[in-house]
Every structure is written in C-alpha cells, then in structure tokens.
C-alpha cells in the first residue's frame, strides 16, 4: 500500500471538512473492498476518513412505512434486523461472517460493484439514498460499472427502504467469492412490481422491464415463461458466458417470485 494517514472523526461535518481540506482523501467504510484495492495499489488516497466513529451514520429504525438504515450499518446488523425479511436474508448471504462483521451498506452502495447484492435490493425496493447533501432515488443513483451519482466528497448518511408487501432475493453464488453470479431481487410495493438484476450486466445493476410488466399483470413465476434477456452487454468471464448469465436471470427471477409469493 502507498502511505496515508487515517482520520477518525466523530461528526459527519468534521468528516466533510477533512475531505474538503485534503485533496485526494477518500472515505473508508468497512474497508472490505477498499483495503484489497489499496493493497493492489489501485488507489493512492492522500488520507482515509473513517466513518466508523460517527454515530449519526449508525442504527436501523422504522419510520412509518419505511426502514431507515444508517450507512455505517454492517451486513451483520442488517441481517439481524428482520423488518424486511428479503433484505435481511440478502445481507446475511454476503461474503462470510467476518466480512459481514465489517462491511457496510453505505460502502457497498457507494462502490456499486456489478456483482454486489445490495445494489439489487436498493433498486429492487426503490430505496432512497440519503447523503449529507440530498436524497437520491435508487433509479438515479446507479449510473454504471462502479459508478454512482455521488459527487466528490458526498457521503451516504442512510438508505431508506419502503417496506414492501412482498419481496425476495435469489442469488446464484459464485462459490469462490460468494458474490452473485446472478442475483435477482423482486418486490411488490404500493402496487408497483420491481425486478432488479445484479451480477449480470457490464453496466451493473439494472431493472428487467419486461419481467416487471408481466408480473404486474400476474405476480406468478408462470408469468415469466417465454420471456428472455438479450445476452448482449452481459458479463463474460471464466464463471459464465453472456448467454449463460442471460438464461440464469430468468431462472433466478422465477425462483424469487416463487419465494416472494
């Protein structure tokens, strides 16, 4: 790793100040992706600003028909919450226990790995990403491979999830990394049906519009019979071809609908 200092402010405002003052400073969440990246010298921050001591970013609470999850909540904490069963089960399936004890929801969303699980939950539940500056709808938040709508120095404070009538996430594990080879999150929320797909597209998480339309008519796995996804633009790697992933989306979507129903 290149050399850098770690700052550990206890207030969000202070974190913002440090980021402003130090050009090239970067935010550190749980570090489960950032630290391996630093070890490979793929990043050279002038300083890391740890969010671990900022109480404003912690805690999970229900407010009306929304579940508000502090950005620094670990996967383990979200897994233990249970208010939205599909979301907790998704969090409990990320990585392994040691990763879940450190990795955070804010970190995962800000990183927007194309195979990460949380982006599928945020998009599949139409979550709102609350930053220190504004509120961003999940539909606007994910802008491409490892790209988000976050601006320089903008910090995620919380993620607000509407509590759905029905939801489920089905992931086909890539067994070595336990990332999603393909993962599909489906939900029914205030009459809307959403189908969000991770692990498949070269552009990162996306909504499968045809499946949403079919399921809005009939929320049943049978409604997805005959639908297919175009393999163009799907990820090709040693674990699966674009055609394989495109096919898997249909399979996982059907399983998710069955589990949600």
Partner 1 sequence: MTQVSMTVNGKAVSVEAEGNTLLSTFLREGLGMTGTHVGCDTSQCGVCVVHVNGRPVKSCNMFAAEAEGAEVATIEGMANEDGSLGVIQQAFQDNHGLQCGFCTPGMVMSAAALLAENPKPSEAEIRAYLSGNLCRCTGYHNIIKSILAASGQEMKVAAE
Give me the residues that bind partner 1 (CB under 8 A), please: 1-6, 8, 28, 31-32, 35-36, 38-39, 47-48, 50, 52, 76, 95-99, 101-102, 176-178
Give the nearer residue to partner 1 in terms of CB position, either 76 or 212: 76
- Distance, in Å, from the CA atom of 123 to the CA atom of 193, rounded to the nearest integer, reads 11
Smallest gap, in angstroms, from Cβ of residue 85 to partner 1?
18
Our CB check for partner 1 shows the closer of 99 and 216 to be 99
CA nearest neighbour of 137 among 149, 120, 145, 146: 149
In whole angstroms, how close is the CB of 34 to partner 1 at the nearest point? 9
Question: Least distance to partner 1 from the beta carbon of 39, Å?
Answer: 7
Report which secondary-structure segment, H or E, holds 27.
Answer: strand 26-28
* Nearer CB in complex with partner 1: 99/259: 99
Which is closer to partner 1, CB of 209 or CB of 238? 238
- How far is residue 174's CA from residue 181's CA, in Å, rounded to a whole number? 5
Question: What number of residues does the chain have?
Answer: 261
Minimum separation from the CB atom of position 37 to partner 1 (A): 10
Nearest to residue 200, comparing CAs of 169, 223, 177, 232?
Answer: 232
Q: Cβ contacts of residue 7 below 8 Å, gap of 6+?
A: 15, 18, 25, 47, 48, 49, 50
Query: Whole-number minimum distance, CB 97 to partner 1, in Å?
Result: 5
Rounded to a whole number of angstroms, the minimum distance from the CB of residue 47 to partner 1 is 8
> Helix (H) and strand (E) counts for the chain?
10, 14
Side-chain-side CA neighbours of 25 within 13 Å: the count stands at: 22
In degrees, to the nearest 5, what angle opens at C-alpha 155 toward C-alphas 13 and 122?
145
Helix (H, G, I), strand (E, B) or coil at 33: coil
In angstroms, what is the C-alpha Rg of the chain? 18
CB of 101 to partner 1, least distance (A): 4
């Amino acid at each position: 790793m290149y050399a850098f200092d770690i700052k550990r402010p206890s207030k969000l405002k202070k974190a913002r100040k440090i980021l402003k003052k130090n050009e090239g400073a970067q935010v550190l969440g749980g570090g489960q992706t950032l630290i391996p990246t630093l070890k490979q010298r793929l990043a050279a921050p002038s300083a890391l600003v740890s969010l671990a001591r900022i109480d404003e970013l912690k805690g999970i609470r229900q407010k009306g028909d929304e579940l508000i999850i502090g950005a620094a909540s670990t996967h383990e904490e979200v897994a233990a919450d249970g208010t939205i069963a599909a979301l907790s089960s998704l969090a409990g399936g990320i990585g392994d226990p040691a990763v879940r004890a450190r990795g955070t929801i804010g970190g995962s969303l800000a990183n927007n790995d194309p195979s990460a699980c949380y982006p599928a939950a945020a998009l599949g539940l139409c979550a709102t990403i609350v930053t220190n500056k504004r509120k961003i709808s999940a539909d606007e938040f994910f802008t491409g491979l490892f790209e988000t709508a976050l601006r320089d120095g903008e910090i995620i404070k919380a993620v607000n999830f509407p509590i759905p009538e029905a939801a489920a996430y089905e992931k086909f594990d890539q067994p070595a990394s336990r990332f999603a080879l393909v993962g599909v999150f489906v939900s029914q929320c205030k009459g809307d049906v959403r189908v969000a797909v991770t692990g498949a597209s070269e552009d990162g998480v996306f909504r499968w519009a045809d499946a949403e339309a079919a399921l809005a008519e009939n929320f049943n796995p049978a409604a997805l019979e005959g639908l297919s996804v175009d393999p163009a633009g799907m990820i090709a790697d040693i674990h699966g071809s674009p055609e394989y992933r495109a096919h898997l989306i249909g399979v996982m979507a059907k399983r998710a609908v069955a589990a949600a129903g």
